[in-house]
Structure 1
Amino acid sequence: LLRSVARLTPTQSHDNSQVSRVDTGALDKYNPFEASSDAKQDITNPRAPPYSAIQAQKITTAELERRQRELDAKAAELARREEEQRAREVQNRPDSLRGVTTKNWPPLPSFCPCTPCFYQNIETDIVPEYKRVVKFGYYLWLSYACLLIVNLFTAMVYFFGTSNYWGGSLFGVAILVFIICIPSSYLCWFRPLYKAFRSNSSINFFIFFIVFGVQVLVMIIQSIGILNWGSCGWITGLAVVKLSPVIGIMTLLVACMFTVITGISAWYLIHVHHIYRSTGASFGKAKQEFTHGIISDPLIRNGAVEAGLFAARQTTSAGS
């Protein structure tokens, strides 16, 4: 047994030496992770499909057309909404800002057959700086109109309550003053005042100064109360206070109201004149506005042309 083992031992040792002599150079250069990393890279980053310029152009053009259609639809929707918003704003806007001047003065009830004659809106037509001035002028005109109503009533009481011969003429003239002075004062001095502050018109300022100055003089006469002049002033009241104390006191109260409103009107005239001078207006500007208004008036312009043609025809016929 020992001999057999001894015989086998050299062969096995020879085989072991051959195994030990196997070349390990390839194993030294071998990296087992290289193949796996390449596989992972192929999995995570798949290869792009082949590029086609025609296909890319088709896709790009279709996408742009789709986006353009969407933008056009959004723009049309936005324009429609803006138009609706502007329409609502214009509808909610005051008449004066919309360019619509619906006549609203005098304010008459709906059942009245007459309609308003003027458009008046101090809140929207007059700048905030002069609103109080114009409102004060309007209230001053209302006060004067109410005073003429009171004067008419007192003159009627004076006529029926006394035996003075001038009572009838006092009452008759008071009726005429009531009918004429209320509308004429509104047309002749308040409307020019309103237009002057609305458009900074020098010509309207001058009309106001002239007419309102005349009215202040008339109110001074009405305060005095000259007999047969249609006003219950101081002279009229003092003439009847002894005969009829009640009627005399009523007449003297009207005289006091005439005096107060006359003083306020004189102050208001001076106040408006100071405002007018502070704006840099002058008579030259008023004259320029008046001339421009005459030239721009089509009726006056046509009349001037016809007058010129008529004069030319007359000259031609006279020369022939």
Structure 2
Amino acid sequence: MSGAGGDGRLHVRLGRTALRVSRVCLGTVNFGGRVAEPEARELMDHALDNGINFVDTANMYGWREYKGYTEEVIGRWLTSRPARRDQVVLATKVGNPMSEGVNEQGLSARHIIAACEASLRRLGTDWIDLYQMHHVDRDASWDEVWQAMEILVQQGKVRYVGSSNFAGWDLAAAQEAARARHFLGVVSEQCLYNLAVRQPELELLPAARAYGVAVLPWSPLHGGLLGGVLRKTAEGRAVKSGQGRAAAALETMRGTIERYEELCAQFGRDPAQVGLAWVMSRPGVTSTVIGPRTTAHIKDALQALDSPLSDEETARIEELFPPVGHGGAAPDAWLT
């Protein structure tokens, strides 16, 4: 096990709850299409063996095969050794379209409850530890959303509710509505947060801290942009980093990324470990969601956790990727 797990620093409370999760969360977005089932099982085994007890998925993951495929892969892994289920904090999501049906998406009470039942079947489990709203639904009132979630919690099918891709004011609105119903409400928020995307520091992170909501950054390396994309491209090893958001960002950030990789080389550290270590050190961050394709990627994440950046390294990195405005929370970040 990683040294972080050995001294107790690997597991922390999920926000204001008493539930303890690993500071590295195994994201499964690559299962199906990029990672075949045998390799996915190996990744989950390796993560669990190294103290990572937090597994995150979504009902629509696996879309390269078909929506729901990834939950099925996880379900077969869990049922192949039933003792695993008690070891794992299992998170999934609801809200993204699952078919062309007009009611097969969003956060209506009908869809939340039906989607939960379908996820439970695919996952082969009786309960979901963290049921996350994949996106805010402007058409669904918070009373409707919370009524559905309360039913699932009362039935024992869901333990906690989380959010993903919310704005700060969405988080506040959701939490105040839950408070009025004497319901626990949102306990975690998954957001896009990394050196290249620091906007959550303005309002989302302050809102999360105020409400005791755990922050779970996804895409901490911005799709591979911060993982040594230029070196990997030169070596013909760029897989994910040559696509999607990483490729789009590289068009405008090439000079910055060149200096970033040079600086990481000066530190004697791998760019991926530097990018992960920075995210993991941010105030309010509970667990960082990684999307590994190999066990080496898991090793990088654990090593980043065990080897935090020094103050000098952090300062030099942030010269390349400065905060928005003057830094800190809005509106002070904008004041002159």
Q: TM tier, shorter chain? A: under 0.3
Structure of greater relative contact order (alpha carbons < 8 Å, 6+ residues apart):
2
Rg larger in 1 or in 2?
1
Q: Relative to total residues, which structure has the larger strand share, 1 or 2? A: 2
Give the TM-score taking structure 1 as reference length: 0.22
